[in-house]
């Protein structure tokens, strides 16, 4: 056995089962007597439901039941709750219209579920669902934020005037105005952050089970946070007490945010299983994923920076319109506010900032967090703006950034938009990235490309993000309706092996490996004797789950705290067994010893003594060796870094090839460099996808045009380059591991690096900005226009 | 109800199916071989790739009845009976070519076919192009490409020819 | 999918009889397009008549012609030394259809019978002036393609083989849809002693079409320069989120130029 503690590139524990086909995903679960649900979804963007006739469907072979929204309402089923309340500028709460599990009265987007058939097979349920007859009254619908805000626009929710969910702001408007009045120069940029469809490879699925003898409900679901689902569904939707509701999220095939939320189907199968007394399974077809998984991004922004004569940033003013979709998904309101506008300082010392955000309802699939969530939007805005400023002032784009960096000696650094950065060194990641990308040698590569008729460009992005969400009291004051701590229960077994029960959930992140490394490091227990248990509310204490790159920063910290308790108790047992004072007991490499002596007890010996307490300080100490810790973070963590993209354009076709991509990130202490690299590469791939390929397109009547992988471009292997990943480390100052988080940095830093490179490549064509995705057609249009100008 | 008789991972199976039953449904629902996954409805993601008579196919785009008499290998049948992983599986682990694991079975089966059908060697671009029918949302493919290149010499029992690199 | 009866006849007459006795019966070749269509419940056949048992697979080269039986898979064509030698452009085209899993199952006959407007094979058949052999007759390529998803085939008519004349040179260039990887524009150019033929797939509102102006230009001089500036009218071209008609018109020129260059 090699070194398997913190810092080692340990191969993953979970791979054996995934590689041999023994992974256990929700759709792999089959319960005895199971029925299948098929959900009828609206094919209309916006329509009144005049009547639903389910008789013919109910008479189809194999059908156990057909339910509509009215049936659920009659059974006192509640609506899907929203977990975050944002307040308007005037302090009033946001508009929070009801979100029925099955639509009642109206459907509000293509994909809105309005009926469910439960039958003996998937196909029988689907056959019957086609027989449900609906009388509709079509209403005008729109997918466009601008149209939804226009005077007289049709209302998505009759009681939400102007389709406005909230009108929120942050920062100091007066100070910002004053700074703008003093500015030597103001640079403006309008830009769109394109809507994305997450498309985790595993479609969502849910199996509801009900035990008549105990009255216990079990939900197996594709979730990133089973306890959150139990809380929301149990308390608000189905009114089932925690003791009667178990939620299991087994192996989950990717989430990227889209599996955080409490979805209608989870409530439907749990409720239907109870009604029918039989297990009910639902698995999304990919077409349903496109129409029901929460989408991401979809902002329209206008930004302006006030500058002094030297190019120092004096003030930033931002106006953003954010598309919420037709209903508020679980955490939707906080994405374009507290996860976006609070990041608008970026890595820069801009002294004053004022941002206004309007969130708008449209007839589209709800929008919520998708990998990065708000922070990619902030980063894209800032890093595009920085390049436009550089271009318009003539200041070199690297120098401009360096001039405005928060210096390495300025931490902790209070930004003008609420956050306090604890640590960082933006110059270090910049230097390393420029070196790795051979920034200095670019001119020669550009010239070489030119001789082949190609346009080559290089782009940079220096970004920061806030993750490890977050101090519960802080987020509570900002409208969160949940605590955001994490829990760990560490059980040292009598033989000395260890089980760790964590509230974090792994759906690709490799927690079973990384967490075991953390535990092995601290307790000195061999890696293979450590088991990580997650994803089952019956096994683990109430935890908050995995999103926002929080698992290690928050969940890992909880483990450290629990292990501290284990060691403290172990020392007391050791002191008794070794007949020494507790103060003299040291714990190192998995053993307790009396300082300065050769008297030693291994953790396994201590553990055995704890469970077989024959010779034990039983009057002072309970038997057993198991501890639980809840860790509430003191602050967000702030990973940061620099991404450099180099691209080549074929001017004849407009096709862009990414020829080189370098990411140098500061994610705090690295537990497993192999896993960190993989996380960054995956995030970068999604960022390149956003910048060049992916786009959710709705037509003028709010039909989703990109409703399958035939039209929505998923990045493939030959769309992407090799991705070089480096790290530069400053430690997080407020959590015990010094970790910051690595799950989202790739998706946050990369899109502006790519677009900056594309704009750079087209510098001779008079291009100031290109909206994502930079599709071949878009590039060709620019090249054509530039060529015809040149010819004129 | 129609019946199909085929060999799956070396074992003969006779199964009642409907005309419309897909091979992937036969594998997952009738035979309990849930290692083969379904990730899309449009034959693009490749999570369902298995080998039929030694060739990689998308089991979501083949009827169960079309496999009458065929030999099917799924991810469950790739390792040796004693549990020793196939070199491709081993290299996926070694190079961290999987994260959530959902695309992995199809990716591995596709990669095995790719390497087997290129005894002359594979360039990075050929590997990337050869994965056109498999989507992965987690890894960015970087490590998958590395794993496949590393598996080539193990599967062919010699170094990758220079020209192909 | 709606349920159906699956049948696998072992002779061509048997297959034809099954199809002609039931207007709702459909033939199944490789199924790479048809099975997804069935999965989306866009078709509801009573019977599926699998053509895999009819012995309609194989490639032969004789008398200046390459003959490919209808059920020959794309992979077989791509890997065939005979095709690679006689019409390398055809082998290359087959090797670029879909992905390798599709190529392992998809067949030339199925592709041509379906005549998807973005499929690759129709451009080769049309540009090479191939003939379609059926259980009833021989159809010239110029008579075969009759618009999007429409062909000269009668309901009980099955393709048995395709015969390609061997050109002096030929090449195919495809600009793929980034999502589906079907052709947004695919141009097949072929040079024969009698002149040049150019067929365009993916772009036309009525499916694959010959490009007369390019054929004329290449007839005078088979060179990239000759074809590069021949304009294409955007009026009858497709337009979608990935490519406008104007962009397609432009790409036809680029792909044609590159195809001629590749043909050497």
* A194 found inside a domain: no
Using CA atoms, how far apart are residues A781 and A779, in angstroms rounded to an integer? 5
Range of the domain at B73: 3-77
pLDDT digits (tens, 9 = 90+) for A676-734: 999 999 999 999 999 999 999 999 999 999 999 999 999 999 999 999 999 999 999 99
Angle separating helix axes A557-577 and A511-523, nearest 10 degrees = 30
Range of the domain at A747: 299-469+635-791
Cβ atoms within 10 Å of A275's Cβ, excluding its own: 18
Q: What is the pLDDT of residue A3?
A: 78
Percent of chain A with pLDDT over 90: 97
- Mean of the pLDDT values across residues C216-228? 95
Contacts of A203 (CB under 8 A, 6+ apart): A27, A222, A283, A284, A285, A286, A288, A289, B38, B39
Give the phi and the psi of residue A182 in degrees, each rounded to 5: -90, -10
* A192 found inside a domain: no
Using CA atoms, how far apart are residues A384 and A759, in angstroms rounded to an integer? 10
Q: Are residues A662 and A624 part of one domain?
A: no
Candidates B58, B60, B135, B136, partner chain C, best to mutate (most C CBs within 10 A): B58
* A152 found inside a domain: no
Q: Are residues A410 and A331 part of one domain?
A: yes
Q: What is the pLDDT of residue A4?
A: 86
Q: Are residues B30 and B67 part of one domain?
A: yes
Number of domains in chain B: 2
- Mean of the pLDDT values across residues B13-34? 97
- Mean of the pLDDT values across residues A175-179? 98
- Mean of the pLDDT values across residues A641-654? 98
* B82 found inside a domain: no
HSE toward the beta carbon, residue C41, CA cutoff 13 A: 9
Using CA atoms, how far apart are residues B128 and A720, in angstroms rounded to an integer? 9
CATH of domain C169-263: 3.30.390.50
Interface of B with C in 21-40 (CB under 8 A): 22
CATH of domain C5-49: 3.30.43.10
pLDDT digits (tens, 9 = 90+) for A432-481: 999 999 999 999 999 999 999 999 999 999 999 999 988 999 899 899 99
Is residue A162 scored above 80 in pLDDT? Answer: yes
Task: Kindly list the residues from chain B whose CB atom is less than 8 angstroms away from the CB atom of residue C6.
Answer: 2, 19, 63, 65
Q: Does residue A654 come out as left (phi exceeding 0), alpha (psi in the -120 to 50 range) or beta? A: left
Q: How does DSSP classify residue A244?
A: G
Architecture, CATH, for domain C59-165: 2-Layer Sandwich (3.30)
* B164 found inside a domain: no
Q: Domain limits of chain C?
A: 5-49, 59-165, 169-263
* pLDDT level of residue B163 (50, 70, 90 thresholds): low
Using CA atoms, how far apart are residues B4 and B69, in angstroms rounded to an integer? 8
Task: Kindly list the residues from chain B whose CB atom is less than 8 angstroms away from the CB atom of residue C28.
Answer: 63
Q: What is the pLDDT of residue A792?
A: 74
Cβ atoms within 10 Å of A477's Cβ, excluding its own: 9
Q: What is the pLDDT of residue A2?
A: 66
Q: Are residues B62 and B10 part of one domain?
A: yes
Task: Kindly list the residues from chain B whose CB atom is less than 8 angstroms away from the CB atom of residue A287.
Answer: 41
Candidates C32, C75, C78, C104, partner chain B, best to mutate (most B CBs within 10 A): C104
- Mean of the pLDDT values across residues B19-44? 97
Q: Are residues B91 and B62 part of one domain?
A: no
pLDDT digits (tens, 9 = 90+) for A114-130: 999 999 999 999 999 99
Q: Are residues A279 and A344 part of one domain?
A: no
Q: Are residues B130 and B69 part of one domain?
A: no
Q: Are residues B52 and B8 part of one domain?
A: yes
Asked if B92 and A678 come within 8 Å (Cβ–Cβ), the reply is no
Asked if B141 and A717 come within 8 Å (Cβ–Cβ), the reply is yes
Terminal-residue alpha carbon distance, chain B: 52
Q: Pick from A123, A253, A674: which is nearest to B96 by CB?
A: A674
* Helix or strand run (H / E) with residue B8: strand B3-8
Is residue A631 scored above 60 in pLDDT? Answer: yes
Q: Are residues B33 and B71 part of one domain?
A: yes
Which residue among B24, B47, B77 closes a domain? B77
Token pair for A3: 């070194």
Q: Are residues B144 and B106 part of one domain?
A: yes
Mind telling me how many Å the CA of C150 is from chain B's nearest CA?
22
Q: Single out the residue of A511, A485, A508, A484 nearest to residue A500, CA to CA.
A: A511
Is residue B165 scored above 50 in pLDDT? Answer: no
- Mean of the pLDDT values across residues A289-310? 98
- Is it true that the peptide bond before A412 is cis, omega within 30 degrees of 0? yes
pLDDT digits (tens, 9 = 90+) for C145-156: 999 999 999 988
Q: Are residues A679 and A582 part of one domain?
A: no
Token pair for A454: 């190609």
Mean pLDDT (chain A) is 97
Asked if C36 and B110 come within 8 Å (Cβ–Cβ), the reply is no
Using CA atoms, how far apart are residues C206 and A384, in angstroms rounded to an integer? 43
Q: What is the pLDDT of residue A788?
A: 83
pLDDT digits (tens, 9 = 90+) for C39-87: 999 999 999 999 999 999 999 999 999 999 999 999 999 999 999 999 9
Positive or negative torsion for Cα C99, C101, C102, C108: positive
Specify the higher pLDDT residue, A258 or A786.
A258
For residue A275, the domain's CATH number is 3.90.1170.50
Candidates B3, B66, B68, B108, partner chain C, best to mutate (most C CBs within 10 A): B66
* A153 found inside a domain: no
Which residue among A631, A650, A670 closes a domain? A631
pLDDT digits (tens, 9 = 90+) for B80-131: 989 899 999 999 999 999 999 999 999 999 999 999 999 999 999 999 999 9
> Which runs of E-coded beta strand occur in A581-706?
585-588, 591-594, 600-602, 626-631, 640-650, 655-666
Q: Pick from B79, B94, B139: which is nearest to A681 by CB?
A: B139
Identify whether the C-beta of residue A139 lies closer than 8 Å to the C-beta of residue A55. Answer: no
Q: Are residues A464 and A335 part of one domain?
A: yes
For residue A511, the domain's CATH number is 3.30.365.10
* A544 found inside a domain: yes
Q: CB-based contact (8 Å) between B136 and chain A?
A: yes
| Strand C183-192, strand C169-176: pairing | antiparallel
**Interface residues from chain A to C (CB-CB < 8 Å):** 123, 127, 130, 652-653, 693, 695, 697, 705-706, 709-714, 719, 775-777, 780-781, 784
Mean pLDDT (chain B) is 96
Q: CB-based contact (8 Å) between C3 and chain A?
A: yes
Label residues C33-61 b or e (16+ Cβ within 10 Å = b).
Answer: bbbbebbeeeeebebbbbbbbbebbebeb
Closest chain C residue to the Cα of A286, Cα to Cα: C40
Contacts of B32 (CB under 8 A, 6+ apart): none
* A564 found inside a domain: yes
Q: How many helices (H) and strands (E) does chain C have?
A: 12, 12
- Mean of the pLDDT values across residues A349-371? 98
Is residue A383 scored above 90 in pLDDT? Answer: yes
What is the DSSP secondary-structure string of C55-112?
Answer: ----EEEETTEEEEETT-BHHHHHH-HHHHHH-HHHHHHHTTSS-HHHHHH-BHHHHH
* pLDDT level of residue A16 (50, 70, 90 thresholds): very high
Q: Are residues A444 and A325 part of one domain?
A: yes
Q: Are residues A319 and A414 part of one domain?
A: yes
Task: Kindly list the residues from chain C whose CB atom is less than 8 angstroms away from the CB atom of residue A695.
Answer: 241
Using CA atoms, how far apart are residues A760 and A460, in angstroms rounded to an integer? 10
Closest chain C residue to the Cα of A653, Cα to Cα: C251
* pLDDT level of residue A1 (50, 70, 90 thresholds): very low
Mean pLDDT (chain C) is 97
């Amino acid at each position: 056995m090699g070194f398997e503690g913190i810092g080692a590139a340990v191969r993953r524990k979970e791979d054996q089962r995934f590689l041999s086909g023994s992974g256990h995903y929700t759709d792999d679960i089959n319960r005895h007597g199971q029925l299948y649900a098929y959900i009828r979804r609206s094919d209309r963007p916006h329509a009144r439901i005049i009547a639903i006739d389910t008789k013919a469907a109910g008479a189809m072979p194999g059908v156990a039941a057909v339910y509509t929204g009215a049936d659920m309402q009659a059974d006192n089923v509640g609506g899907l709750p929203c977990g975050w309340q944002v307040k308007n500028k005037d302090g009033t709460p946001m508009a929070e219209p009801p979100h029925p599990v099955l639509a009642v009265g109206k459907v509000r987007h293509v994909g809105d579920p309005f009926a469910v058939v439960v039958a003996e097979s998937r196909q029988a349920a689907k056959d019957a669902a086609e027989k449900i007859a609906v009388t509709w009254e079509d209403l005008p619908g729109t997918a466009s934020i601008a149209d939804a805000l226009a005077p007289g626009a049709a209302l998505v929710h009759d009681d939400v005037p102007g389709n406005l969910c909230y009108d929120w702001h942050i920062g100091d408007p007066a100070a910002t105005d004053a700074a703008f009045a003093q500015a030597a120069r103001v640079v403006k940029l309008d830009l769109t952050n394109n809507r994305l469809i997450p498309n985790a490879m595993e479609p969502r699925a849910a199996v509801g089970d009900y035990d008549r003898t105990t009255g216990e409900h079990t939900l197996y679901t594709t979730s990133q946070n089973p306890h959150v689902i139990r809380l929301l569904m149990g308390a608000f939707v189905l009114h089932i007490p925690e003791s009667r509701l178990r939620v299991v999220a087994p192996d989950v095939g990717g989430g990227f945010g889209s599996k955080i939320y409490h979805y209608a189907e989870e409530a439907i199968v749990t409720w239907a299983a109870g009604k029918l007394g039989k297990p009910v399974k639902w698995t999304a077809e990919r077409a349903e994923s496109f129409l029901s998984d929460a989408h991401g991004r979809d902002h329209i922004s206008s930004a302006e920076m006030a500058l002094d004569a030297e190019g120092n940033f004096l003030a930033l003013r931002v106006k953003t319109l954010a598309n919420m979709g037709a209903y508020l998904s679980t955490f939707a309101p906080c994405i374009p506010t507290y996860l976006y506008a609070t990041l608008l300082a970026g890595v820069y010392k801009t002294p004053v900032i004022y941002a206004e955000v309007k969130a708008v309802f449209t007839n589209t699939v709800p929008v919520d967090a998708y990998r990065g969530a708000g922070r990619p939007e902030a980063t894209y805005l800032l890093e595009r703006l920085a390049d436009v400023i550089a271009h318009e002032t003539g200041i070199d784009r690297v120098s401009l950034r360096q001039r405005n960096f928060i210096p390495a000696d300025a931490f902790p650094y209070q930004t003008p938009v609420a956050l306090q950065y604890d640590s960082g060194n933006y110059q270090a990641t910049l230097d390393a990235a420029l070196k790795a990308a051979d920034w200095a040698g670019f001119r020669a590569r550009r010239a070489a490309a030119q001789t082949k008729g190609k346009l080559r460009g290089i782009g940079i992005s220096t970004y920061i993000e806030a993750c490890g969400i977050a101090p519960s009291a802080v987020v509570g004051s900002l409208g969160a309706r949940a605590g955001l701590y994490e829990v760990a229960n560490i059980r040292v077994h009598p033989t000395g092996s260890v089980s760790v029960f964590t509230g974090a959930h792994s759906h690709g992140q490799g927690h079973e490996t990384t967490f075991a490394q953390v535990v092995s490091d601290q307790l000195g227990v061999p890696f293979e004797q450590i088991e990580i248990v997650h994803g089952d509310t019956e096994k683990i204490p109430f935890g908050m789950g995995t999103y926002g790159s929080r698992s290690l920063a928050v969940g890992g910290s909880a483990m450290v705290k629990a292990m501290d308790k284990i060691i403290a108790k172990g020392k007391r047992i050791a002191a008794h067994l070794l007949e020494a004072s507790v103060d003299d007991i040291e714990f190192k490499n998995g053993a307790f010893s009396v300082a300065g002596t050769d008297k030693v007890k291994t953790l396994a010996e201590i553990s055995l003594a704890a469970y077989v307490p024959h010779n034990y300080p039983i009057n002072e100490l309970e038997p057993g060796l198991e501890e639980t810790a809840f860790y509430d973070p003191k602050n967000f963590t702030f990973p940061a870094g620099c991404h450099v993209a180099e691209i080549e354009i074929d001017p004849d076709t407009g096709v862009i090839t990414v020829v080189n991509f370098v990411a140098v990130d500061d994610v705090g202490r690295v537990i497993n460099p192999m896993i960190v690299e993989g996380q960054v590469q995956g995030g970068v791939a999604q960022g390149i996808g956003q910048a060049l390929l992916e786009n959710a397109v709705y037509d003028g009547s709010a039909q989703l045009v990109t409703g399958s992988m035939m039209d929505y471009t998923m990045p493939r292997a030959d769309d992407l380059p090799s991705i070089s990943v480096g790290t530069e480390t400053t430690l997080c100052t407020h959590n015990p591991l010094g970790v910051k988080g690595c799950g989202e940095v790739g998706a946050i830093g990369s899109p502006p690096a790519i677009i900056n490179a594309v704009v750079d490549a087209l510098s001779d064509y008079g291009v100031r900005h290109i909206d994502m995705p930079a599709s071949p057609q878009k590039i060709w249009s620019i090249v054509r226009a530039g060529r015809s100008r040149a010819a004129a | 109800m129609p019946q199909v008789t085929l060999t799956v991972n070396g074992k003969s199976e006779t199964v009642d199916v409907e005309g419309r039953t897909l091979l992937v449904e036969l594998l997952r629902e009738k035979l309990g071989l849930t290692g083969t996954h379904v990730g899309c409805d449009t034959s693009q993601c490749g999570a369902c790739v298995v080998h039929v008579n030694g060739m990689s196919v998308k089991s979501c785009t083949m009827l169960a009845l079309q496999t009458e008499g065929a030999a099917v290998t799924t991810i469950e049948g790739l390792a040796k009976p004693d549990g020793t992983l196939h070199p491709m599986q081993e290299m996926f682990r070694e190079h961290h070519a999987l994260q959530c694991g959902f695309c992995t079975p199809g990716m591995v089966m596709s990669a095995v076919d790719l390497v087997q059908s290129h005894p002359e060697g594979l360039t990075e671009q050929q590997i990337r192009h050869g994965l056109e029918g498999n989507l992965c949302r987690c890894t960015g493919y970087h490590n998958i490409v590395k794993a496949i290149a590393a598996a080539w010499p193990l599967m062919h029992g010699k170094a990758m020819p220079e020209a192909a690199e | 999918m709606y349920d159906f009866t699956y049948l696998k006849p072992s002779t061509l007459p048997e297959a034809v009889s099954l199809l002609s006795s039931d207007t709702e019966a459909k033939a199944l070749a490789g199924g790479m397009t048809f099975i997804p269509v069935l999965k989306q419940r866009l078709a509801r056949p009573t019977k599926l008549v699998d053509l895999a048992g009819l012995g309609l697979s194989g490639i032969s080269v004789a008398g200046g012609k390459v003959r490919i039986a209808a059920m020959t898979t794309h992979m077989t064509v791509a890997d065939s030394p005979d095709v690679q030698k006689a019409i390398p452009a055809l082998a290359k085209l087959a090797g670029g259809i879909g992905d390798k899993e599709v190529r392992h199952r998809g067949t030339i006959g199925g592709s041509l019978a379906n005549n998807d407007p973005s499929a690759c094979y129709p451009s080769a058949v049309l540009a090479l002036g191939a003939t379609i052999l059926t259980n009833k007759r021989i159809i010239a390529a110029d008579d075969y393609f009759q618009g999007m998803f429409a062909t000269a085939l009668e309901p009980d008519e099955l393709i048995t083989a395709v015969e390609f004349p061997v050109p002096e040179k030929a090449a195919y260039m495809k600009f793929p849809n980034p999502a589906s990887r079907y052709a947004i524009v695919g141009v097949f150019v072929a040079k024969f002693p009698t002149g040049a033929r150019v067929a365009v797939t993916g772009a036309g509102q009525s499916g694959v079409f010959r490009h007369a102006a390019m054929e004329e230009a290449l007839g005078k001089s088979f060179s990239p320069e000759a074809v590069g500036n021949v304009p294409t009218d955007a009026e009858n071209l497709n337009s979608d989120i990935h490519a406008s008609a104007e962009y397609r018109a432009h790409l036809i020129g680029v792909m044609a130029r590159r195809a001629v260059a590749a043909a050497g």
